Amino acid sequence: MTTMSRYRCAALLLSGVLLVAGCSEKAETIAEKKAAASVPGAPPGGAADVAAKAATASKVEEKTDLIEFSYSYPVEAARIPGLAAWLDSDRTAQRSALVEASERDKAAAEKNEFPYHAHSHLETWQRITDTPRFLSLSSEIATYMGGAHGMQSFDTLIWDRKDAKRLKPLDMFESAAAFDNAAKDDLCAAIERAKAARGVTWSRDPDSPFGQCPVPSAQTIWLGSSDGKYLDRLTIAIAPYEIGPYVEGSYKINLPMSAAIVHAVKPDYKRDFLPLN
């Protein structure tokens, strides 16, 4: 072996040792920080904060003859202890409700000699945007509780880092009525365009079951950001049957963040919104 070859082998061995040592040191550092944060007299929640910084996205899946259940949320939510705790609690509650309803329906099906098909709740939380103050999440939910078909629905939440609390987007506005007045005209026009893009003519006949423009605040509101600093994007998620038959599906309607909408925002949040120029 040449001198140069020996140097290369030694360098590779040394880099491998340093790599292993680096990984070991990192693992020990995290463990040491958690231990230090747990000693008597340490600030409350310190250990949870250390663990949160190393948290990863969370997903639970379960499939049996009784139920199919899935619930996930992104790493950004997992690294906020208060938010992760709420999501874990909600996941437990959703699963418990699903099991309770499924056991009841399965017993009824067996009593009446009907086939039972596993009920399901499949929920995925995703990051919409992450600004210095807010983490905005959207949720899409697919459920099946027997019958001809399943259903799709939506949810939403915002974590306010400044006040360390969970919000609904509507909480950031002066009132539901104020938001409705600011958003309704844009929503109605956008729905008409979205239906036309699907080849659907929207009958505005007041006697039609789907002829009325929906109330914006009664739908799911998603707030987003184009620059990671200000909330300047708005989407209204509309579930099946709200503005059309089931076969028409759901709609996700993007609205402009108009000056009227920003004007309806509460003073404490207004500086975090940016109207469309």
- Can you give the CATH number for the domain in which 178 is found? 3.90.640
161, part of any domain? yes
- Shared domain for 199 and 241, answered yes or no, is yes
Could you tell me where the DSSP H helices lie in the chain? 3-38, 46-53, 75-78, 81-111, 176-197, 259-263, 267-270
1, part of any domain? no
- Shared domain for 76 and 162, answered yes or no, is yes
159, part of any domain? yes
Q: Which of 118, 138, 167 is the last residue of a domain?
A: 167
Closest CA to 257 of 249, 269, 247: 269
Question: Residue 11: its pLDDT value, please?
Answer: 44
Q: Using the predicted structure, report yes or no on whether residue 51 has a pLDDT greater than 90.
A: no
Question: Residue 14: its pLDDT value, please?
Answer: 37
Please, what is the Cα angle at 15 between 13 and 19, to 5 degrees?
115
10, part of any domain? no
- Shared domain for 161 and 178, answered yes or no, is no
- Shared domain for 208 and 259, answered yes or no, is yes
Instruction: Residue 137: give its domain's CATH number.
Output: 3.30.565.40
- Shared domain for 243 and 163, answered yes or no, is no
Q: Which of 144, 167, 190 is the last residue of a domain?
A: 167
- Over residues 188-247, the pLDDT tens digits come to 999 999 999 999 999 888 888 898 999 999 999 999 999 999 999 999 999 999 999 999
- Shared domain for 42 and 69, answered yes or no, is no
- Shared domain for 63 and 144, answered yes or no, is yes
Average pLDDT, the chain: 87
- Shared domain for 107 and 200, answered yes or no, is no
- Shared domain for 154 and 251, answered yes or no, is no
Question: Residue 50: its pLDDT value, please?
Answer: 67
- Shared domain for 190 and 150, answered yes or no, is no
17, part of any domain? no
Three-state DSSP at 275 gives: coil
235, part of any domain? yes
214, part of any domain? yes
Q: Is the pLDDT higher at 1 or at 168?
A: 168
- Shared domain for 81 and 152, answered yes or no, is yes
Tokens representing residue 138 in the block: 């959207």
Q: Using the predicted structure, report yes or no on whether residue 36 has a pLDDT greater than 90.
A: no
Q: Which of 133, 167, 201 is the last residue of a domain?
A: 167
11, part of any domain? no
Mean pLDDT of 32-59: 66
Boundaries of domain holding 37: 22-54
**Burial of 272: CB neighbours in 10 Å, binned 0-12, 13-18, 19+:** buried
Q: How many structural domains is the chain composed of?
A: 3
- Over residues 111-154, the pLDDT tens digits come to 999 999 999 999 999 999 999 999 999 999 999 999 889 999 99
